[in-house]
Structures are given as C-alpha cells and as structure tokens.
A and B are shown apart, each in its own frame.
Chain A
C-alpha cells in the first residue's frame, strides 16, 4: 500500500482480556517498529524487527507484551491480560533500513491503534 496501515483504529477491552493489534508496513520495508504513546507523553519504543534477524525486544514493558512478524510483512502486537495502564495509542512504523551499520532511513508511521482498557 501507499503507507503504513494499522488495525483496528480503536479497541476497547475489559481488564484481563487479551488483544491483538495489527500493522501492515510499507511494501519492501525491511524494518518494522512498534511504539506506545500514553496520553500527554512522547512515544516509547517497544520492539523492532529487521529482516530475518532476532527482534530487539528491549522496550517491551512486561512479559504480557509480545509481537510477531511474518517475513517482511505484517506484524501483530499481542497484549495478554490487559491492564488499565496499557491504555495508550500503539503506533507502528516501517523503514527500508538495511541490516547492520547506522541507519539513515526515515521511519514512516501508521495512524495508530487507540487501546482503551476499562
């Protein structure tokens, strides 16, 4: 597609339920990132996929959070046993960053999924 797409755009769930958030990156982009934006705050890095390399999971806040990516396409962020503090906008970005070395490639962001945990 023309840009990064995310679904759903909004998700309301009850505390303790599991949720899955989807990201479709720009075609051909090898790198994919997930960020979280809490109300009134900047974006927090969650996880980074680069090609077939092991993902950088260093930003995941707890073991309730996990993410997968199928090849160089779709990614799913899963939050298990959601808590109210998980309420945020979850943003996905992709770039054509090559493996190894410093990146000069721009990250293009999707519109985000607004998650509300009641």
Chain B
C-alpha cells in the first residue's frame, strides 16, 4: 500500500543538539515532498519542499532535508536545535498531479533546556 512513514512518534533532544527526523514513502514515482511543522494552537507551517534538482533542500528556521531516491527517504535535519523548535513535525508527499497531500503520522519533538 502507498504510504508515508514517520517511524519516530516522539523524539527528545537537548537544546543545541543536532536533530534528524525520519520520513520514508512508498510511491512508485518520485513524489513531491514536504515537511510541515505544527505548533500548539497553530496551523501547519511549511518548512521546506522538494520537487526536483538538488537533493539537499534548505528551508526556514535553519532546517534542511535530503532526498535519497534509493532509500525513498526525505529526512529532516537541523544542526543545532532551539527550545522554540519544540512542536510536531509532519512529512507529506504529493504523488504528482493528484493535488492532495498524504501525511505521515507526525513526530513530536521535545527540547530539553
């Protein structure tokens, strides 16, 4: 079945530590890929997106993600986490032209001071 998998439901890191959130997808073609962040009481905000070209994508708030076709992965990274990064992170895919996004279940990030 086609799906988006975020294997980590909850991750805890210390402020200043590096972060990697995992995302795998199972669609035949290379879909468009997105990472969104959802803070408490707020709507989803787009962090970054990949359509084609350079497989390392830079986003807002110091985040980046790398598309690896061989692994069907699109992992989100940040070299140094800030306390304000505590939120829920969603990976999403658009399997080309469908006009809808398929979301993973999300990863809740807790940041220790």
Q: Is the CB of A102 within 8 A of B96?
A: yes
Residues of B within 8 A of A102 (CB): 32, 96-97
Residues of A within 8 A of B106 (CB): 41-42
Residues of A88-118 whose CB lies within 8 A of B: 91, 93, 97, 101-104, 106-112
Cα(A60)–Cα(B34), bound, Å: 23
Q: Is the CB of B32 within 8 A of A104?
A: yes
Q: Kindly state whether residue B70 has any CB partner on chain A within 8 Å.
A: no
Across the interface, A43 reaches (CB within 8 A) one of B6, B46, B49, B90, namely B90
- CB A41 to nearest CB in B, in angstroms, measures 6
Residues of A within 8 A of B102 (CB): 45
Q: Is the CB of A91 within 8 A of B99?
A: no
| Candidate in A3, A35, A48, A109 with the most chain B CB atoms within 10 angstroms | A109
Q: Is the CB of A59 within 8 A of B100?
A: yes
Q: Is the CB of B100 within 8 A of A106?
A: no
Q: Is the CB of B94 within 8 A of A103?
A: yes
Given A43-B103, A104-B32, check contact A4 B97 (CB 8 Å).
no
Q: Kindly state whether residue B51 has any CB partner on chain A within 8 Å.
A: yes
Q: Is the CB of A101 within 8 A of B97?
A: yes
Q: Is the CB of A4 within 8 A of B99?
A: no
Residues of A16-73 whose CB lies within 8 A of B: 31, 33, 35, 40-45, 48, 50, 56, 59
Query: Which 7 residue pairs across A and B have the least CB separation, nearest first?
Result: A42-B103, A109-B44, A43-B103, A109-B43, A45-B100, A111-B43, A42-B105
Q: Which A positions have Cβ atoms within 8 angstroms of B?
A: 3-4, 31, 33, 35, 40-45, 48, 50, 56, 59, 91, 93, 97, 101-104, 106-112
